[in-house]
Chain A
Amino acid sequence: MALSSNVIVQILLRERVRISASVMVILRDAHAADDVFQQVVLQALQGREHFREPEHLLAWALRVARHRALDSLPRHATRCLDGAVLELLEQQWAAAPADEVSIRVEALHRCMDRLPEAARKLLRLRYEDGLRCTSVAERLGRTVDAVYQSLSRIHRQLRQCVEARLKAGPHSLGEALS
């Protein structure tokens, strides 16, 4: 039996983060990724009679999102990873357990909250304000290479913090970054 519209929307909302994150790899723009996600939801509802399994819907959504993101890429005029690599990344997203992404996001928020103020400021300028690294460097009076290095180090810290939290379990989330 085909999935109902309500079920389709619920599944796609549940999977929004991983679909949007897979689109971000291509577009590197959260607003554009959100636009693509909404297009995917509409397209899924239009073809809802074809979906019988949630896994099928997720795989389809990831693929359609990738194609739609690539279609809109020329306007952004930035270099993008090879199609074959994108497909491999997509397979990895699809293989992640259903609740892992949301658990990771929650752990990530906690890790971000515990970063030193200087690191938070750098992340804020780069990702929340959307400044390129050259602008961030100007703003902070640093070299661009120094900004790259700092960002690399912060992301590495965040990955390690998230892994530590996930290994420690949901109730011991406090100290991983200290």
Chain B
Amino acid sequence: MSPESDNSLPDTEARRFDDLAIRYWDGSLDEAGLAELNTLLAARSDLRATFNELSLHVLTLAERGAATKASELVPAGKPSPRRFRGLLPWAVAVVVALAGLTALLWTPAPTSPVASNSTENGEHPGNAGPQVAVNKVYVKNADGDVQPVEQWAVSFIDPEPETSPALPPDTFLARFSQPLQAGWRGELVFDRLPEGSDGALRTAPQPHPKWGFNHVVATPNAWKPGLFAIQNDSWLHVRFRLDKPGFFHVLVVAREPEIARRSCVVLEAPHFFQNRTPGQWHTAHLPFAKFRPTEPNRPSERPLVAFIVVFDSQKEDRALTIERFWVTRGPDAQ
């Protein structure tokens, strides 16, 4: 695209071209106007550059609108729009990338840290309808035992909750192995794993309304059951690798325990830096007390129910890879 071309046109001709272009984009240009526009564009490369620039404006504005609308739909499709209007741009991106425009399809996550007796083809207690696949997810219960539980890769329309669900467990562990559960964002990789690991998630590009795409690893959206409860003394631990120097964000999207209130907060951790030893595994331990809402006046009183966790290296692909992350009460890491 070449630089702004208005200066090379007589003022009236520039205005005429702009007017034709605006009417074309509006779908209201008549035959004579279309012929005139075709002639101008065929003759002048600077006008073609201007026209392409205009198409970039239109696309960008439309996608901004879609991102805003998507943020207003999350998490359950019927929140008050005012509650979501002020989300920061990257939070909108999270919403767009992770919840999608439909925002009504859900992947149930475990509601209890205790392993279910279900088998891969069995019926999930309390859930009507077919289930398609089961993924292995490890959850640490309150006694500190790590147990595999199933997550059901079946989508359904979420009915209105009749009553508020109980808080999810306040401990959590996510590890990765083949096959990757539906809803996770990232690419399952097996290279250069630490000992005892079955796999890790490397960032995958997700569309971003500002700069094209972000590179993220993220959990499924577990709005209704929640992933884990955030208490005053909760800590997040993450084992990660960055192949290139730089930082990444940790974002936790949480709601109030009273699900009917549909009020959300995006919590942001401080940046993690890894400048000296790229390519090596590191474990970071962060108290949730250090996480801050990205927006003032958001619910932040504990407990909160985390329903999405995002590891985001933004527009730079630093080959961020998450081997596991877990949540504990207090700083004790396993």
Residues of A within 8 A of B (CB): 10, 13-14, 16-17, 20-22, 24-25, 28, 30-31, 33, 78-79, 81-82, 84-85, 88-89, 92-93, 96, 100-102, 104-106, 108-109, 112, 123-124, 126-130, 132-134, 148-149, 151-152, 155-156, 158-160, 162-163
Contacts and interface: CB of A to CB of B under 8 A. Distances in A.
Interface of B: 1, 3-4, 6, 15, 18-19, 21-29, 31, 34, 37-38, 41-42, 45, 48-66, 68, 89, 205, 207, 209-213, 315
B18 A155 contact: yes
Contact of A148 (B19, B66, B315): B19
A127 B65 contact: yes
Nearest to B15: A152
B1 A155 contact: no
Contact of B212 (A14, A126, A156): A14
A24 B55 contact: yes
Given A89-B41, A92-B1, A159 B53 contact: yes
Given A17-B212, A104-B1, A109-B60, A85 B53 contact: no
A152 B210 contact: no
Given A81-B34, A132-B26, A156-B18, A105 B56 contact: yes
B20 to A, nearest CB: 10
B38 A30 contact: no
B48 A16 contact: no
A105 B56 CA distance: 8
Consensus secondary structure, chain A interface = helix
Contacts of A82: 38, 42
Given A13-B212, A16-B207, A156-B6, A112 B61 contact: yes
B22 A20 contact: no
Contacts of A158: 57
Contact of A92 (B18, B25, B52, B207): B52
Contacts of B48: 85, 88-89, 92
A105 B22 contact: no
A80 to B, nearest CB: 8
Is chain B's interface secondary structure helix, strand, loop, or mixed overall? Answer: helix
A104 B53 CA distance: 9
A5 B56 CA distance: 27
Given A85-B38, A160-B6, 6 more contacts: A16-B213, A88-B48, A92-B45, A102-B212, A133-B22, A160-B4
A95 B207 CA distance: 23
A152 B19 contact: yes
B28 A133 contact: yes
B63 A30 contact: yes
B64 A79 contact: no
Contacts of A21: 52, 55-56, 58-59
A155 B54 contact: yes
A25 to B, nearest CB: 5
A163 B3 contact: yes
B274 to A, nearest CB: 23
Contacts of B23: 133, 148
Given A24-B58, A88-B48, A108-B60, A79 B212 contact: no
A127 B48 CA distance: 21
Contact of B59 (A14, A17, A88, A126): A17
B66 to A, nearest CB: 7
**Which A-B residue pairs are the 10 nearest by beta carbons?**
A128-B65, A30-B62, A127-B61, A152-B18, A21-B55, A78-B27, A133-B26, A163-B4, A85-B41, A21-B59
A102 B314 CA distance: 14
A148 B212 CA distance: 29
Nearest to A128: B65
Contact of B55 (A25, A124, A151): A25
B22 to A, nearest CB: 5
